[in-house]
Structure 1
């Protein structure tokens, strides 16, 4: 909060004022959800994270909001400056409305005019720009598998550097050069004066070695031009995650039901930090028994606008 408190102000009044600030956000969310026919899915981790954040804000005004966890950028980021809110193009899948709010984790003030990137695979686990790598870049896609047993002994010493994405790409590993000009399920848009940005996309699928997720970056201090967003720094690189119940529900819907890749669960994933909303776990709303009609996903991301977090070193 801004402004000074006088020494004559009773302690209980100061606590009440602070409590109003903390509770206000929850009341606004409740108003939005009133009368909705959508069902909220939430984990114990989410509830714990919310409780912790409220307690912290009440006991220590210096700490406003927990930093959202940093993760690796993954091999498939393309700085295409494709400015758009609807990134779906011709991709089939369950409609997903992604509502993100970006705030300064220290002051709780919204970050306006920040550039937010999102990118993710399609329902079958394929990334645009990297279709030749198959599902998640694990080396899939076409060809006849080798048969028989190898004969002879290898000779000579290996030379050069290994190439290709690691199995379960999209989590770790160095950047891969694009293999094609496709750019579906990728886009950048600016936050409004409330720090909010909304994307239209489809519910992501899965591929070898990774749970269902969306990649994101937040850029600040740059300049918006007709050509895109220029300059500035990347203050957050993270991933957004989906609870297991929602993913199981999507697996019954085409084209997700045709994805035969063995799925990695949220608990099995090596990138998800396991700390609920603080770690990027989205809050989801959809109609029970009818997830195919669409999902609304929301998350508030606390970032440090003074930091540089490009995700190349694991966050």
Structure 2
């Protein structure tokens, strides 16, 4: 296909003689002063690119800064900004306990069980077991935002998370007698929920991760079929290397982690760079004190 390019190379000096000949010097100057702004705007908009064709849209949210009045002597703080993308939809895996499959444990739908709404999810809460999952502590805060509304916080949303234990086993399934490392929280006015769990182990064939399902309300969080988002969080590589070096606590994770990469992972491998960045929690802390993590979850409402 032949591409057509508009010729925008003429300067004012080149065009002026023609303008003078057509409408006179004075009229040409008056016309250019009035239309110059419109011409500049038109010239800046025709590069032929379409931002909507990108596979992932990055949205920037801005909190407006109040304009100082004439009597205000204190400098106005800078506006705060943030970016978000729509989280990739991922598989909920074979161990969701959200009512979408069967399990070998006490229930296949932990979302309807009494006690599932909790912040500290390290202990089992179903049946007779009260076992607490051991490992490096992780306190994780998730912020749920609307990518179609300048990354505005979404309050009142139910967030269900679950992950494997330090041996790579999932409660209610491969650790059938346990129900630890599963829980729901409801987002506050800032769109945030906080969970206390452990740093998940790494099992063969998968990058270390935490599963996430987001529902529009606690009332709809009774079946995984009603989730607004089924996603996963990718654990940061540096923290994985540090945590898994303790082979007494995480006996097989270091070996499994050495055999996987984000690009080869069958879940994260086809995600965009922006999605991976958002799906990877930011962590501070250490093994002895535990880690504190934050991540954003972007929904397109």
**Which TM-score band applies after superposition, normalised by the shorter structure?**
0.5 to 0.7
CA shift, 1:276, in A, is 4.6
Match of 1:112 in 2: 155
C-alpha distance in 1 between matches for 2:143 and 2:198: 19
Match of 1:253 in 2: 246
Q: Distance in 1 between matches of 2:256 and 2:265?
A: 13
Q: Which has the higher contact order (CA 8 A, sep 6+)?
A: 1
Change (3 A) 1:278 1:91: same
Contact kept, 8 Å, 1:120 with 1:185, in 2: the verdict is: yes
Give the 3 Å change call, closer, same or farther, for CA 294–254 of structure 1 in structure 2: farther
Change (3 A) 1:198 1:276: farther
TM-score, normalised with respect to structure 2:
0.59
Matches within 5 A, 1:103-182: 103-107=145-149, 108-131=151-174, 180-182=176-178
Kindly indicate whether the alpha-carbon contact (under 8 Å) linking 1:221 and 1:233 is maintained by their aligned counterparts in 2.
no
Aligned twin of 1:304: 300
1:71-110 equivalences under 5 Å are: 71-79=90-98, 80-81=110-111, 82-89=116-123, 90-107=132-149, 108-110=151-153
Matches within 5 A, 1:203-218: 203-218=199-214
Q: TM-score, normalised by structure 1?
A: 0.57
Contact 1:104 1:111 in 2 (8 A): yes
Unaligned runs of 5+ in 1: 1-17, 27-49, 54-64, 133-179, 306-315
Structure 1 segment 198-277 matched on structure 2, within 5 A: 198-221=194-217, 223=219, 229-230=221-222, 233-253=226-246, 255-259=248-252, 262-263=256-257, 264-272=260-268, 273-276=270-273
Aligned counterparts of 2:292 and 2:247: Cα–Cα separation in 1: 19
Alignment coverage as a number of residue pairs: 199
CA contact (8 A) 1:87 1:201 kept: yes
Distance (whole Å) between structure 1 residues aligned to residue 209 and residue 252 of structure 2: 16
Distance 2:212 2:197 in 1: 13
Q: Which residue of 1 aligns with 2:190?
A: 194
Residues 34-76 of structure 1: CA deviation (Å, up to 9, x unaligned): xxxxxxxxxxxxxxxx8xx4xxxxxxxxxxx421111111110
Alpha-carbon separation, structure 1, partners of 2:62 and 2:265: 37
SS at 2:91 equivalent? coil
Match of 1:258, SS state, is coil
Pairwise CA RMSD: 2.7
Q: Unaligned 5+ residue runs, structure 2?
A: 1-60, 66-77, 99-109, 124-131
* SS of aligned partner of 2:119: coil
Quote the Cα distance in structure 1 between the aligned partners of 2:273 and 2:193: 21
Change (3 A) 1:66 1:219: same
Q: Report the 3-state secondary structure (helix = DSSP H, G, I; strand = E; otherwise coil) of the residue aligned with 2:256.
A: coil
Distance 1:210 1:292, change over 3 A: farther
Counterpart CA distance in 1 for 2:263 and 2:170 is 23
